Amino acid sequence: MTATVSEGPSTSQVDAIGLRSVSYSYPGCDPFIKGCNLDLPRGSRCLLIGANGAGKTTLLQIVAGKYMVAQDSVRVLGRSPFYDLQLTCSGQLSYLGTSWRKDVAFAGYGVPLQGDISAGKMIFGVEGVDPLRRARLVEMLDIDLYQRITTMSDGQKRRVQICMGLLKPYEVLLLDEITVDLDVLGRLRLLDFFKQESEERGATIMYATHIFDGLEGWVTHLAYMEEGRIAKGYPITQVQDAAAAMNGTGKKLLHVVEDWLRVERETRLTRTAAAKAAGQTASTETTVRPQRTPYMPSKHLAFFR
């Protein structure tokens, strides 16, 4: 299913993210990501949703260039993220996930990740950063530059991780539920910042989350994943119930997605029960049970002879 069909692509007009029949198998496993299609224009803010295990993290990591897939199947700014390392090294493509050590290292910033250093030392260790942007991020995320990382709470560490990931003005940002540790105000301020970035600079955001607070009015596109596939992928205006949620005339987005998850779960349970029943019928019809030989201890054998 395709979210938006690009019209007359030229180098400058090329979509921010283009997925074409993306498939991926973890080593030694059957294909898990199957035939995913999605087009996200520049400046879009796409919510990636689905049940636990649906494949959101895997898909985001594929788009981030962490897994090898067919070269033409994933395009970010018209380039292939796995093969074109410059995309991430330049900061044009940024990925923020749950593992802060890996993400900061992956961004190639070369700042020390171990030892008892302060937030300021980490943040100011990144070279080639616009000082105004850095100051804005530190202020927006309420970071105490003098506090040592080892003394920080999970949420405070998360703020430093987010700051590091946003220092360079990305063009495409992939977020894998990074707001879980943030307090309500911190999360809303961050969402506002992302919205501003996409409206002012045309930055594109793909955000996997299970938390829907504050997303009405924020989302421009939805991608709903089901067992490794993008089952629904549209501009929000094309999803009637979701669009109503966005303009406040219908159910809240949370309840729209809750309905989808409920239907998916019921369908899966029905399918599993049917497969189980079919399996049982097949096994009773086709299995020829071997005749049992009655147990006969050897000392009694003589009695029967």
Ligand X SMILES: Nc1ncnc2c1ncn2[C@@H]1O[C@H](COP(=O)(O)OP(=O)(O)OP(=O)(O)O)[C@@H](O)[C@H]1O
Choose between 144 and 227: whose C-beta lies nearer to ligand X.
Answer: 227
- Span 71-130, contacts to ligand X by CB under 6 A: none
Q: How far is the CB of 30 from ligand X (least distance, A)?
A: 10
Pairing of strands 17-25, 74-76: antiparallel
Q: How far is the CB of 169 from ligand X (least distance, A)?
A: 27
Query: d(Cα 259, Cα 254) in Å, to the nearest integer?
Result: 9
- Span 41-80, contacts to ligand X by CB under 6 A: 50, 52-58
- Span 5-44, contacts to ligand X by CB under 6 A: 26, 29, 32
Choose between 32 and 124: whose C-beta lies nearer to ligand X.
Answer: 32
Q: How far is the CB of 179 from ligand X (least distance, A)?
A: 14
Choose between 144 and 264: whose C-beta lies nearer to ligand X.
Answer: 264
Q: What is the DSSP string of 193-210?
A: HHHHHHHHH--EEEEE-S
Q: How far is the CB of 23 from ligand X (least distance, A)?
A: 13
Q: How far is the CB of 53 from ligand X (least distance, A)?
A: 4
Query: d(Cα 105, Cα 249) in Å, to the nearest integer?
Result: 44
User: Do residues 221 and 44 lie in contact, with contact meaning Cβ atoms separated by under 8 Å?
Assistant: yes
Choose between 144 and 213: whose C-beta lies nearer to ligand X.
Answer: 213
Q: Which helix (H) or strand (E) holds 135?
A: helix 131-140
User: φ, ψ for residue 117 (rounded to 5)?
Assistant: -110, 165
Choose between 109 and 212: whose C-beta lies nearer to ligand X.
Answer: 212
Q: Could you tell me what percentage of the chain is helix, strand and coil, using 3-state DSSP and rounding each to the nearest 5?
A: 40, 20, 40
Q: What is the DSSP string of 232-269?
A: EEEEGGGSHHHHHHHTTSSS-HHHHHHHHHHHHHHHHH
Q: Which residues here bind ligand X, judged by CB under 6 A?
A: 26, 29, 32, 50, 52-58
